[in-house]
């Protein structure tokens, strides 16, 4: 790496922050990456002698500049016959009077517009995920072609640290064409060679990343195109951007004890409680009491008062009889620094839930933010467990601790307290408090063990909580995560946490905001977070095992399925679909993509015989054939439909069942007065056989009670059959 460091140092001394193409070639050759033969020419040179030694009858002439990256767009690349080269060169010298050097490049012949023969091999440093390697479609029209592909198809992205590059290459979209794996295709390179190039570039990026303490950071390295021809991989163009390494590590860390104090406190203090009116602090105090927290373990920080609502008051933190493991702070933003300073200096406060907003996320509050950051560092120096959740947090609900610190009144939202035994234990971690309460209002059957709203993340983050639960609480089977921005290194930590959760059979559902310039602007206006690169996060976290929600509807559906079926390890990707309406079976079938993540094979001979026997029993054998999807017609009573679903579950052939019921048929019990019992019975089947049973009720609000029986039983419920199949495909993928 000394060669590369010296190369960067020389360029930096020359005032460059981008290497010239000749310097890029020098670096590539040092790594063993093949490049064309080149010679450098000054504007005053006679290039005829320089043309000797180049094979073939063509030559490429390029301007040599560290400032002009897209040379082709500017007319700075010319391909010509060698006989015409002197004249072409003279014209380029006239066209580019500011250029003091040109490059003669060996012409490499290959089909420029054959998919897979021009590869983009790139690398860049990402604040959240560290050095990343990108593999995609190369060439001058690479960006336009990639945009036309389905999101998530290309480019392929992997974090350089610990990557299996052979797997990365072989599973990428572009390799299907470069490797000749498509029908009629021809292998133009070896997977081992491309994997080796990726690995070498990954090593360079890791060496020249901020934390590596090298004098320079390589921000971006790109080979485009990397030509694949007759078993060779040749870098035909390169860009390398770099800068001085002025990295300063984060001053403070969040400890496990700090997070435990926030989630499982034995004592709680509340600051900002009014004695004369029901303000936010008073609401939170009452919510904590009503959740079942022992009054003797609650303290109010308030001068001049003895007690409020039966809870004793203390004038300041230093006067507390015991350490406040969790302190909820609801005071105006201007008063926050003084209260935090007192808490930090007392050494008697661990976790703080900072409800107050306007610290960092609002323009003009930067000075308060800086002051608070210094107080956090001082507090941790005295007490490593000193941790702040917020600012602009809506609070934390912890069922094990019997703690509810959110300030939403009960007539607007039933607090997510208690346990739903029909669902897997979950945790809801979100930067946005509104996102939590909005979703829990719609999904009242989900009672997370922990509901945590981190707000502006002055200190502890959603990733900190995720990593803690992945490491210390294996009872949590589903983590629901809303992220507006990943801080430095957090992408890597989140990836590792998701991998750990996935390896243990646990589920992580993630909605990430700030995906577009407009979305990023909205996020920054809300919590002062800087959104990460969404395609990168989606690629890396999906590979780690996360369920990435593309829409709010996706998030809700994936959460419902994860909580309903987290304990059902999927045996395969096969689904059996059954409905009492023909349009629904057609809609379900239309959403099974060829070679997609979800398959709908016909029942085996044994299962087919059993289903045919049940059709005879239901007196439907003359009008119904066994298929998948299976249309049992509106004349099929509940008991017969149930028996058919049980047969499919019992067969072990499918890991999921989608049952869609148009509930208006007179032979099905779907109204409240009918005392419907179908859904609890299906839930029992799901648990008994370890099969995910999804339910669709295709009708209006008159049948809300029927839907509720499914929700209460712990089943994922939809209102359209095609949507159920779409979401199941995403869940299984």
pLDDT at 519: 43
Please report whether residue 3 resides in a domain.
Answer: no
pLDDT at 407: 87
pLDDT at 319: 97
Burial zone of 184 (CB within 10 Å; 0-12 exposed, 13-18 middle, 19+ buried): exposed
- Is the Cβ–Cβ distance between 117 and 227 less than 8 Å? yes
User: Which among 629, 657, 627 is positioned nearest to 645, based on CA atoms?
Assistant: 657
Q: Are residues 585 and 718 in the same domain?
A: yes
Q: Are residues 423 and 514 in the same domain?
A: yes
Please report whether residue 402 resides in a domain.
Answer: no
pLDDT at 207: 96
pLDDT at 521: 42
Q: Are residues 713 and 580 in the same domain?
A: yes
Residue 732, SS3 per DSSP:
helix
Please report whether residue 521 resides in a domain.
Answer: yes
pLDDT at 365: 58
Side by side, which strands form the sheet with 395-398? 403-404, 395-398, 450-453, 426-430, 478-483, 507-512, 547-548
The 10 Å CB-count burial string (b at 16+, else e) for 593-617 is: eeeeebbbeebeeebbebbeebbee
* The last residue of a domain, from among 87, 107, 127: 107
Q: List residues bridging with 426 in a β-sheet.
A: 478
Q: Are residues 187 and 218 in the same domain?
A: yes
Alpha-carbon distance of 607 to 615, in angstroms, equals 12
Q: Are residues 151 and 90 in the same domain?
A: no
Question: What CATH number has the domain bearing residue 533?
Answer: 3.40.50.261
Host H or E run for residue 577: strand 575-579
- Number of Cα atoms under 13 Å in the Cβ half of residue 71: 24
pLDDT at 113: 66
Tally Cβ neighbours within 10 Å of residue 362: 16
Successive 10-residue mean pLDDT values, the chain, 733 residues = 92 94 95 95 94 93 81 86 96 92 92 82 92 89 76 85 95 92 88 97 96 93 90 92 89 92 98 94 95 97 95 97 97 92 96 86 70 93 96 96 91 90 96 94 95 95 98 97 92 96 96 66 34 76 94 95 88 95 94 91 97 96 95 96 98 96 94 95 95 95 95 94 94 86
Alpha-carbon distance of 528 to 547, in angstroms, equals 26
Q: Are residues 293 and 429 in the same domain?
A: no
Q: Are residues 230 and 262 in the same domain?
A: no
* The last residue of a domain, from among 214, 244, 274: 244
pLDDT at 344: 96
Q: Are residues 292 and 374 in the same domain?
A: yes
Q: Are residues 200 and 122 in the same domain?
A: yes
pLDDT at 248: 83
Burial zone of 276 (CB within 10 Å; 0-12 exposed, 13-18 middle, 19+ buried): exposed
- Is the Cβ–Cβ distance between 675 and 383 less than 8 Å? no
Q: Token pair for residue 453?
A: 């709203």
Count: domains in the chain: 5
Q: Are residues 235 and 269 in the same domain?
A: no
For 531, residues 6+ apart whose C-beta sits below 8 A from its C-beta are 484, 485, 513, 514, 515, 519, 520, 523, 524
Q: List residues bridging with 77 in a β-sheet.
A: 62
Q: List residues bridging with 299 in a β-sheet.
A: 269
Q: Are residues 592 and 727 in the same domain?
A: yes
Alpha-carbon distance of 477 to 420, in angstroms, equals 13
Question: What CATH number has the domain bearing residue 331?
Answer: 3.40.50.720
Host H or E run for residue 135: strand 130-137
Q: Are residues 180 and 44 in the same domain?
A: no
Question: What CATH number has the domain bearing residue 181?
Answer: 3.30.470.20
Q: What stretches of 339-435 adopt beta strand conformation (E)?
A: 349-354, 387-389, 395-398, 403-404, 426-430
What phi, psi does 140 have (nearest 5°)?
A: -70, -25
pLDDT at 342: 96
Residue 294, SS3 per DSSP:
coil
Question: What CATH number has the domain bearing residue 54?
Answer: 3.30.1490.20
Instruction: Give the 3-state secondary structure percentages of the chain, helix then strand then coil, rounded to 5.
Output: 40, 20, 40
Alpha-carbon distance of 191 to 640, in angstroms, equals 54
* Domain membership of residue 499 as a residue range: 419-566
Q: Token pair for residue 596?
A: 């997609």
Please report whether residue 516 resides in a domain.
Answer: yes
Alpha-carbon distance of 697 to 706, in angstroms, equals 8
Residue-level length of the chain: 733
Please report whether residue 112 resides in a domain.
Answer: no
* The last residue of a domain, from among 107, 132, 166: 107
Please report whether residue 127 resides in a domain.
Answer: yes
- Is the Cβ–Cβ distance between 29 and 197 less than 8 Å? no
Please report whether residue 18 resides in a domain.
Answer: no
Please report whether residue 16 resides in a domain.
Answer: no
């Amino acid at each position: 790496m000394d060669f590369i460091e010296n190369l960067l140092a020389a360029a930096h001394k020359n005032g460059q922050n981008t290497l010239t193409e000749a310097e890029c070639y020098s670096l590539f050759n040092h790594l063993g990456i093949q490049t064309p033969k080149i010679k450098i020419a000054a504007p005053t040179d006679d290039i005829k002698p320089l043309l000797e030694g180049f094979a073939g009858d063509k030559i490429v002439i390029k301007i040599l500049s560290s400032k002009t990256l897209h040379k082709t767009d500017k007319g700075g690349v010319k391909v010509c016959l060698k006989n015409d080269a002197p004249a072409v060169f003279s014209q380029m010298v006239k066209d580019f009077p500011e250029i003091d050097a040109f490059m003669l490049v060996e012409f490499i012949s290959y089909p420029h517009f054959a998919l897979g023969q021009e590869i983009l091999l790139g690398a860049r440093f990402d604040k959240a995920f560290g050095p990343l390697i990108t593999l995609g479609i190369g060439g001058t029209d690479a960006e336009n072609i990639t945009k036309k592909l389905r999101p998530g198809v290309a480019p392929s992205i992997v974090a350089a640290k610990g990557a299996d590059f052979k797997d990365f290459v072989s599973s990428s979209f572009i390799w299907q064409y470069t490797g000749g794996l498509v029908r009629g295709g021809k292998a133009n390179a070896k997977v081992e060679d491309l994997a080796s190039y990726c690995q070498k570039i990954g090593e360079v990026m890791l060496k020249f990343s901020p934390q590596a303490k090298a004098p320079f950071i390589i921000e971006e390295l790109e080979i485009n195109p990397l030509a694949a021809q007759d078993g060779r991989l040749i870098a035909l163009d390169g860009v390398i951007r770099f800068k001085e390494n002025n990295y300063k590590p984060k001053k403070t860390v969040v400890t496990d004890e700090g997070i435990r104090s926030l989630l499982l406190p034995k004592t709680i203090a509340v600051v900002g409680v009014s004695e004369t009116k029901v303000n936010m602090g008073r609401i939170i105090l009452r919510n904590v009491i009503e959740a079942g927290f022992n009054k003797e373990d609650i303290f109010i920080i308030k001068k001049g008062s003895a007690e409020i609502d039966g809870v004793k008051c203390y004038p300041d933190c230093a006067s507390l009889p015991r350490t406040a493991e969790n302190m909820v702070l609801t005071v105006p933003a201007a008063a926050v620094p003084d209260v935090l300073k007192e808490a930090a200096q007392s050494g008697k406060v661990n976790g703080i839930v900072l409800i107050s907003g306007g610290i960092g996320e609002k323009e003009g509050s930067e000075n308060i933010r800086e002051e608070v950051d210094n107080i956090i560092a001082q507090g941790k120096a005295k007490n490593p467990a000193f941790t702040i959740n917020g600012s602009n947090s809506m609070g934390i609900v912890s069922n094990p601790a019997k703690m509810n610190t959110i300030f939403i009144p009960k007539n607007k939202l039933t607090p997510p307290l208690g346990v739903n035994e029909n669902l897997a234990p979950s945790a809801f971690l979100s930067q946005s408090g509104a996102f939590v309460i909005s979703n829990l209002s719609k999904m009242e059957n989900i009672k997370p063990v922990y509901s945590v709203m981190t707000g502006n993340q002055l200190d502890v983050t959603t990733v900190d909580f995720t990593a803690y639960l992945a490491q210390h609480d294996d009872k949590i089977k589903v983590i629901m995560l809303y992220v507006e921005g990943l801080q430095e290194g957090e992408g890597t930590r989140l990836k590792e946490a998701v991998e750990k959760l996935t390896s243990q059979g646990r589920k992580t559902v993630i909605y990430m905001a700030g995906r577009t310039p407009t979305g990023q602007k909205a996020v920054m206006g809300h919590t002062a977070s800087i959104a990460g690169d969404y395609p990168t996060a989606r690629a890396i976290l999906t590979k780690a095992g996360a369920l990435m929600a593309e829409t709010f509807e996706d998030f809700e559906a994936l959460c419902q399925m994860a909580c309903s079926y987290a304990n059902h390890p999927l045996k395969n990707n096969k689904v059996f679909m059954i409905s009492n309406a023909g349009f629904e079976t057609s809609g379900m079938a239309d959403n099974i993509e060829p070679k997609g993540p979800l398959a709908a094979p016909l029942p085996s001979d044994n299962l087919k015989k059993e289903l045919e026997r049940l059709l005879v029993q239901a007196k439907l054998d003359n009008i119904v054939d066994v298929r998948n999807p299976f249309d049992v017609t509106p004349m099929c009573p509940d008991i017969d439909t149930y028996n058919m679903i049980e047969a499919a579950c019992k067969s072990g052939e499918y890991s999921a069942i989608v049952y869609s019921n148009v509930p208006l048929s007179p032979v099905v019990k779907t109204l409240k007065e009918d005392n419907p019992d179908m859904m609890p019975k299906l839930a029992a089947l799901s648990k008994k056989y370890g099969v995910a049973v999804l339910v669709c009720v295709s009708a209006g609000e008159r049948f809300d009670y029927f839907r509720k029986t499914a929700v209460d039983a712990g089943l994922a419920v939809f209102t359209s059959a095609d949507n159920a199949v779409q979401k199941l495909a995403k869940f299984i993928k």
